[in-house]
Structure 1
Amino acid sequence: MSRITESTMPFQDGQTWYRITEPDHPVAGALPLVVLHGGPGMAHDYVRNLEAFADETGRTVVHHDQFGCGRSSHRPDAPADLWQPQLFVDEYLALVAHLGLGEHHVLGQSWGGMLGAEIAVRRPGGIASLSICNSPASMQLWVDGAAELRAQLPADVQAALIRHEDAGTVEDPEYVAATQVFYERHVCRVVPMPADFVASEEQMEAEPTVYHTMNGPNEFHVIGSLRDWSVIDRLHRVDVPTFVVAGEHDEATPATWQPFVEQIPDARHHVFPGASHCTHLEQPEEFRRVVGAFLADDDAQPTG
């Protein structure tokens, strides 16, 4: 069995919590993997099962709860302009330095993949590869994709969503129930939702500052500070091997992630049939097999 260590490091005026999973049988040349969770503000729980990479591939796996959520320091009274991508880029850089990781892989899921791209375009060094999982290259593409998927929902569900969004009553039980229809089609097709996903969601709902400020009330009604975010015009700066993955029914529709494939030199991609946004929860073994093969290709390779 792998060995798990949990601790914190100083960050901003508080702490960032992290979790390290070390394999009992390390594989020579298998570089550490840093996992970036989504949301923003959804905590790491729903991607915790990626710790299985430790025993399966003989590499150390690092998770953390990003500042403002989960087990890290919360700042519900902070000014809205604190919650910018640069904050989380700085946190990643501080974590890598704190742990003395050296060369490592980065895997980001959803917002984590957006953050991974934000990190990679800055060329900080030390990154052996980047896996962008279920992520858009711009929020406008994300919103456009969500509109297409919403148009395929039952008419009464669409009507409930529109009615409550227009009225500003997005906490109404009818609206919440309508969003669940979308979630079960395009976010996680495992019913009931896996316990780890529920844990992340409950933490976010208990203190939603980061998610609501940067994103909005849910996955497809984006009215937060990320509304105009895009990394498309900077993707040519990514100079590490990149793997882009998504699910067939993903809320990250093909149009949202295609710029990663087109703009990042030699980027590879893979679509998981039958899966949606939380591919790693819906098809965990296949996800780790496919992504693990990519990581192995770039283990112990010199960075650019």
Structure 2
Amino acid sequence: MTVAPSSKGTVRFGDHETWYRVTGDLSSPRPALVVVHGGPGSTHDYLQNLSGLTAGGRAVVHYDQLGNGGSTHLPDRGPDFWTVDLFAAELDNLLDGLGIAGDYVLFGQSWGGMLATRHAASRPAGLRGLVIANSPASYPLWLQEAKILRDQLPPGVNDTLLRHEAAGTTDSDEYHSAMRVFYERHVCRLTPWPRDYLASFFEVYNDPTVYYAMNGPSEFHVNGTLRDWSVTEFCPDVAVPTLLISGRHDEATPATVQPYQDLIPGARWEIFEESSHLPHLEEPERFTEVMETFLDGLDAPH
């Protein structure tokens, strides 16, 4: 359930601005839940229903990462500008700017889960817990698994995708139609696609600067700067309670999530049987139950 924000604004980030929305009261004694969206190059919109996790006075913070949504757009910046370090620094800056760096929980979805893991590995004093949702531990592993999923698509679909990828015509209508077959199986299995998901989907393609630079033309054809990136080296340094979330039909297959389970001490893994990449939309009731149980467990005195 999406709850109306109690405030919206921007935090200065160097010469730029990071847009945020807060639901609930940031002065609450419960740690704020900070939601880190995927992409890179998506927006907060598809995760808006996490604003319903304000039970008992907890604040929920959404933000748009630089280059997208309500934050500063920089369409003329090249791939060398869009780095993991940039977005890690932006997250640190947001926490400081909102005055919550001393007491917070991170929820990172897809790429956001990788970014949140990188953040958690530095062992910030105020981090109370970590949720890694539908996130691969490495892009090479993601691509390896994507090939398996692509080979299982209906006859001819992957041939179409491969032909356009080889020709560099991934902006064609035919490619997008074939791409949607994959997305309907492994990204969002709901019909029709929910409004919040469509909002983020269209935001990516309204300004694909970040997505194309770091990821590539689609979820499964990663030829951007992140194609060799992994967070497995950071996992052993995560020292807070950690919840892993994935869907049975997720493009983030069990093989891509397994390193988190193996390497993060004490990590707990919940698989949503009726979901793909967006359990918070595909199984919202169970998602809320799992999240509230985890978050309530973090509220012991510290």
Equivalent residue number for residue 76 of structure 1: 75
For 1:85, give the aligned amino acid. Answer: V
Cα displacement (A) at 1:79: 3.0
Gaps of 5+ in 1: none
Identity over the aligned pairs, expressed in percent?
Answer: 49
For 1:167, give the aligned amino acid. Answer: A
For 1:236, give the aligned amino acid. Answer: P
Separation of aligned partners in 1, 2:56 and 2:258: 29
Cα displacement (A) at 1:295: 1.0
Cα displacement (A) at 1:30: 2.8
What secondary structure sits across from 2:233 in the alignment? helix
Answering whether residue 156 of structure 2 is matched by residue 153 of structure 1, we say no
**CA deviations over 1:193-246 (Å, ceiling 9, x no partner):** 111111111111011010000000010000000001011122111111111110
**CA deviations over 1:251-286 (Å, ceiling 9, x no partner):** 000010100010011111110011100111111121
The more displaced of 29-38 and 269-278 is 29-38
The more displaced of 291-300 and 40-49 is 291-300
Separation of aligned partners in 1, 2:114 and 2:297: 23
Equivalent residue number for residue 290 of structure 1: 290
Q: How does 1:47-126 map to 2 (within 5 A)?
A: 47-54=47-54, 56-101=55-100, 102-126=102-126
Q: Provide TM-score, normalisation by structure 2.
A: 0.96
C-alpha spacing 1:201/1:2, structure 2 compared with 1 (3 Å): closer
Separation of aligned partners in 2, 1:58 and 1:173: 46
Cα displacement (A) at 1:62: 0.3
Equivalent residue number for residue 6 of structure 2: 4
Across the aligned residues of Structure 1 and Structure 2, the Cα RMSD in angstroms comes to: 1.6
The more displaced of 115-124 and 243-252 is 115-124
Gaps of 5+ in 2: none
Equivalent residue number for residue 15 of structure 2: 13
Equivalent residue number for residue 276 of structure 1: 276
For 1:97, give the aligned amino acid. Answer: D
Q: How does 1:194-273 map to 2 (within 5 A)?
A: 194-273=194-273
C-alpha spacing 1:273/1:81, structure 2 compared with 1 (3 Å): same
Note if contact 1:246-1:270 (Cα within 8 Å) is conserved in structure 2. Answer: yes
Note if contact 2:134-2:246 (Cα within 8 Å) is conserved in structure 1. Answer: yes
What secondary structure sits across from 2:114 in the alignment? helix
Q: Provide TM-score, normalisation by structure 1.
A: 0.95
Separation of aligned partners in 2, 1:301 and 1:225: 42
**CA deviations over 1:114-158 (Å, ceiling 9, x no partner):** 111010112222110000000000001110111111111011111
Cα displacement (A) at 1:94: 0.7
Cα displacement (A) at 1:163: 1.1
Aligned length: 299
For 1:150, give the aligned amino acid. Answer: R
What secondary structure sits across from 1:144 in the alignment? helix
Cα displacement (A) at 1:58: 2.8
What secondary structure sits across from 1:232 in the alignment? coil
For 1:73, give the aligned amino acid. Answer: T
For 1:158, give the aligned amino acid. Answer: N
What secondary structure sits across from 1:185 in the alignment? helix
Separation of aligned partners in 2, 1:14 and 1:76: 13
Separation of aligned partners in 2, 1:157 and 1:3: 42
Separation of aligned partners in 2, 1:12 and 1:29: 30
For 2:145, give the aligned amino acid. Answer: G
Separation of aligned partners in 1, 2:43 and 2:254: 26
